[in-house]
Amino acid sequence: MPKMVISGAGKGICLIWAVIMMLHVFSVESNAQTGPSLEGCPVFPIDNIWNTPVTDLPLASNSSAFINTIGPSRGLHPDFGAGTWNGGPIGIPFNVVDASAPNVNVSFDYADESDPGPYPIPLDALIEGGSQSTGDRHVLVLDRASCLLYELFSAYPQPDGSWQAGSGAVFDLNSNELRPSGWTSADAAGLPILPGLVRYDEVAAGEIRHALRFTAPQTRSDYVWPARHQASSLTGAGIPPMGQRFRLKADFDMSSFSEPVRVILQAMKTYGLILADNGSAWYLSGVPDPRWDDDMLVSELARVKGSDFEAVDASGLMVDPDSGLANQGTDAGGGSTGGGETGGSSSSSGDGGGGGCFISILGH
């Protein structure tokens, strides 16, 4: 339990400032001890690899080669936004259901690597790209009653109420369990999609506490933890494998960016990016939302180049190759656009807001 030491001429004013500081400390500690959540469900445990900072991880041996392969001069691009593109929403939407949702049968093209149905897909399910899309057509469904996440790739509703899909996966958001080695999911890397999406509500709240999903034009016929699957015939050592973790360089100057973009950039510094699919270079995945400012996102993120990133070696975080549990001893710290310490002691003194007080909070 933190202990407080207060001294100063105006004890009443000092006490007020002491209470403010204690509330700040408890708020910082609370945020550091809770991972991302959605609709009352955790988005995996806080010690999951998606939710683990990578600020102190060593560089991957092929970091420069990976960056050069993806494109050092190519800018980031938000593959999400407001409005529509080619008649469909910009980004990957998700659906939320509860225990009353009816389950429907799903047949799969890759049934041997898919979790069998039924899946609780609503009648009016949101589909990536819209109902007429011929693209990836991901369908994501979060059951907030069970905290199970259902994800489909190339999903098409059928006249009899069932669905046809390329592949499908079910994830328990309370668990660190990975898919079987070599299995795909609704994503090429065999990873879940929803946990890596940029969501407006997180940005508006001022902090994203998880890694972000992105794509690259070329990937190697290999995968690294926590990925479970590859989707390429390329073998060059300078080509990044599925699951490769990247981070925005610590010295990248974010001061000239708008606050929403700074939140996204800070997440890339703290939690990084995970290569999850083949696609356009440095395309960042997110959820469609009418509140996004498309012009701001596109213009500002384009200023962040591939050369501003580095690939990191996340193997030291692995506890078990078949689990998403991450070793928190390697880099257990958190980050936000405002920063903040969660260990040691805090103090305030002087006349610049403490009213001549000296306040020290010990043991937090």
Q: pLDDT tens string for the chain (364 positions)?
A: 444 444 444 555 545 545 444 443 334 344 446 899 999 999 999 999 999 999 999 999 999 999 999 999 999 999 999 988 888 999 999 999 999 999 999 999 999 999 998 999 999 999 999 999 999 999 999 999 999 999 999 999 999 999 999 999 999 999 999 999 999 999 999 999 999 999 999 999 999 999 999 999 999 999 999 999 999 999 999 999 999 999 999 999 999 999 999 999 999 999 999 999 999 999 999 999 999 999 999 999 999 999 999 999 999 999 999 999 999 974 443 333 333 333 333 333 333 344 454 444 334 3
Whole-number pLDDT of residue 9: 47
Whole-number pLDDT of residue 361: 38
Shared domain check, 43 and 25: no
- What residue numbers bound the domain in which 10 lies? 1-33+338-364
Three-state DSSP class for residue 194: helix
Shared domain check, 106 and 7: no
Whole-number pLDDT of residue 15: 54
Residue 184: CB atoms within 10 Å: 23
Shared domain check, 261 and 358: no
Whole-number pLDDT of residue 345: 35
Distance (Å, rounded) from C-alpha 96 to C-alpha 38?
10
Which residue in 138, 169, 141, 140 sits closest to 155, CA to CA? 138
Whole-number pLDDT of residue 13: 52
Shared domain check, 169 and 255: yes
- Is the peptide bond prior to 321 cis by the omega test (within 30 degrees of 0)? no
Shared domain check, 343 and 294: no
Shared domain check, 164 and 228: yes
Shared domain check, 237 and 178: yes
Shared domain check, 73 and 4: no
Shared domain check, 342 and 304: no
Shared domain check, 361 and 269: no
Whole-number pLDDT of residue 140: 98
Number of domains in the chain: 2
Shared domain check, 142 and 13: no
Shared domain check, 279 and 357: no
C-alpha dist (Å) from residue 224 to 182, 191, 231: 11, 11, 13
Which residue in 141, 82, 81, 98 sits closest to 117, CA to CA? 141
